[in-house]
Amino acid sequence: MSHETRRTERAGVVLAGGYSTRFGEADKAVVDLAGTPMIRRVVDRIDPTVDELVVNCRDEQIPAIRAALEGGPDASFAVDPIPDRGPMAGIMTGLGEATAEYAVVVACDMPFVEPALVDHLFDRAAGHEAAVPRLEDQWFQTTQAVYRAEPMADACDRALEHDERRVVEPLLDLDYVVVDEDEVREYAPLETFENVNTREEFEAALERLEGE
């Protein structure tokens, strides 16, 4: 799609197509976190920063996620044609559904995602193909980053063709900007990257929210 025909400037792609194996029985995307389903909290937090919202998940997750988002901002669903190919496949599917030139990709298990940082990532990505946070002594935060939709989706496609699952592989194919820890701290507490994988991490997130 050419730039001129894109309908919006900024999209939000929320990744929810994982199997929550470390979490246990339930789908962590829709688990109740202090009265709000986790994915609803993520969607509500990024909504003010974007013109459109896309949720990437598996077909069978749609009813529960739709219920979790009821009464909230409109979101379209982008279903993985092949499930279980990892977050990168989800990013590709979600970016393919988005009509915006740039999209912030956020995992559904990052309930403290900071909108001010998302805004800044969009600003930093302008004129480039990605803006990705990277904390000291840590790897790229590829599931809280802004990508130019078309080149990133294409790069994901190429990586998957080579059986490559790490999101950093398509990223390195792009003209990307690194947002380092000092720069992140100007816009967000580092909890913005906290992600809920286990019951213990869930309890910790709950405690933080109840203390707010």
Ligand X SMILES: Nc1nc2c(ncn2[C@@H]2O[C@H](COP(=O)(O)OP(=O)(O)OP(=O)(O)O)[C@@H](O)[C@H]2O)c(=O)[nH]1
Q: Would you tell me which residues interact with ligand X (CB under 6 A)?
A: 15-23, 56, 80, 84-87, 89-90, 107-109, 143, 195, 197
The CA distance from 105 to 12, in Å, is 6
Q: Are 163 and 91 in contact (CB under 8 A)?
A: no
Q: Are 57 and 65 in contact (CB under 8 A)?
A: yes
Q: Which of 25, 9, 206, 1 is nearest to 102 (CA)?
A: 9
Which partner from the list ligand X, Mg ion, none does 141 bind, CB cut-off 5 to 8 Å by kind? none
**15 annotated as ligand-binding:** yes
What letter represents residue 135's amino acid? L
Query: How many residues in total does the chain contain?
Result: 212
**127 annotated as ligand-binding:** no
Which partner from the list Mg ion, ligand X, none does 80 bind, CB cut-off 5 to 8 Å by kind? ligand X
**84 annotated as ligand-binding:** yes
- Least separation in angstroms between residue 186's CB and ligand X is 26
Q: Which of 175, 86, 184, 111 is nearest to 141 (CA)?
A: 184
- Least separation in angstroms between residue 125's CB and ligand X is 20
- Write the binding mask 1 to 40 for Mg ion: x where contact by CB under 5 A, - elsewhere: -----------------x----------------------
Return the residue matching tokens 């279980």: 84
The CA distance from 97 to 137, in Å, is 34
Q: Which is nearer to ligand X, 63 or 126 (CB)?
A: 63
The CA distance from 12 to 211, in Å, is 28
How many residues touch Mg ion (CB under 5 A)?
1
- Least separation in angstroms between residue 42's CB and Mg ion is 16
Q: Which is nearer to ligand X, 52 or 97 (CB)?
A: 97
- List, as residue ranges, the binding site for GTP: 15-17, 28, 56, 84, 109
Annotated binding site: 15-17, 28, 56, 84, 109
